[in-house]
Chains A and B, each alone.
Chain A
Amino acid sequence: MGEMVVSGPPQGALPGIDGETRFLYVLRHGDDNLVLAQRLGEWISRAPELEEDIALANIALDHLGQARALLTYAGELEGRGRSEDDLAMTRTERQFTNLLLCEQPNEDFAHTMARQLFIDAYQLELWERLASSNDPTLAGIAAKAWKEARYHFRHSSTWVIRLGDGTEESHHRMQRAIDELWRFTTEPFMADDVDRAAAGEGYGVDPSELEEPWLARVTPVLQEAGLVIPTDPYRRVGGRQGFHTEHLGHLLAEMQWMARTYPGLEW
């Protein structure tokens, strides 16, 4: 990825929250975007139409760019000299702290759009609040990502409505995707110790505050699409603690293969 420098952390400007918490907090959001970018990149040359191929590639690039900024900054906060590449390419599955939703496979186009809708609505709420973090570097990355999330949400919600309100086949697939991915939509709003410590000091956001506004964004889209909001209480969690679904290992194997086979390779 090449060497990158972001503006250094504000030294001593953030009392009450230790460097380890800051590192873990920034890292998890970096992981969300890295894994999501890798998933979206799998669509390149396989999207249903040319414009969509370009759209998905561009959205993937936005998430990759967000991941690069966040992972580079996480490495600076950690202070052990790890670069964005070190964090992306040399950690194992158990060390990734992304949401399970981000690692779910693309399946058909309906599944991809359902996943994106859920994540885009979540990130819209997250970035808006993180843009007022008391860490100017994190706030700057979030402010930029917030603008991008608006275009992402516009894209995914348009597709969910078009497919849900489309043919019998497209409606059936869209509903199936919503039903299958709904189980991953509690995890983004569950706070752990890192979230609580970060939120308490004005550094981060308490994710439980995001659930209501998230639902207020997603519900009208599903209603307009003629889709039923699932009532199945079954929920999957664990990504923030490094307990992943079987899919992440396969994704990392592909993403990290080159970097692990030829360590330090440059071209």
Chain B
Amino acid sequence: MVTVEQVREAVARIPDPEIPAVTIDELGILRGVEERDGKVVVKITPTYSGCPALDAIREEIRRTFVELGVAGEVETVYSPAWTTDWIDEHARRRLESVGIAPPVDRAQVTCPRCRSGQPRTVSEFGSTACKALMVCSSCGEPFDWFKPI
């Protein structure tokens, strides 16, 4: 018999499809796992409304249900609204290690490669809706910045 806790552990390990260096749990997308009417309900919340990764995450969670042999359901919750504050410290360091500046105020952004400050914003929207594209004024490398919301 698979417990709710085992389901929680399994889905918490699912990597984010767009930033595989971090899990959906570390990003704060996973909002809870509970038992309801004999089913395991996994609650997730979108980072941005239009985040296309959410469909992929739903599929991955359903695949996990099949693997574990449990009857499950994925529920999308909108309240409270996702915030970058939910990205934990470990995930912030992981983001930086793969070249993505973590979500801090625009004035505090430092280049994830050479650590120098004062990068220039190239585009408010980077490779995904949640990131802006910046370029380092010191080493000249472009990088993504996870925008705080």
Contacts and interface: CB of A to CB of B under 8 A. Distances in A.
Closest 9 interchain pairs by CB? A140-B79, A65-B49, A61-B50, A140-B78, A65-B50, A51-B123, A143-B81, A55-B125, A58-B125
Interface residues of B, number: 30
A59 interface: yes
Contact of A54 (B49, B78, B126): B126
Interface stretch (B11-19, B69-77, B93-101): B69-77
B9 interface: no
A5 B74 contact: yes
B139 interface: no
Most buried by B among A60, A63, A65: A65
B79 A145 contact: no
A144 B46 contact: yes
A161 to B, nearest CB: 14
B144 to A, nearest CB: 11
B51 interface: yes
Contacts of B34: none
A97 B122 CA distance: 37
Contacts of A61: 48-52, 129
B50 to A, nearest CB: 3
Nearest to A2: B55
Contacts of B147: 151
A69 interface: yes
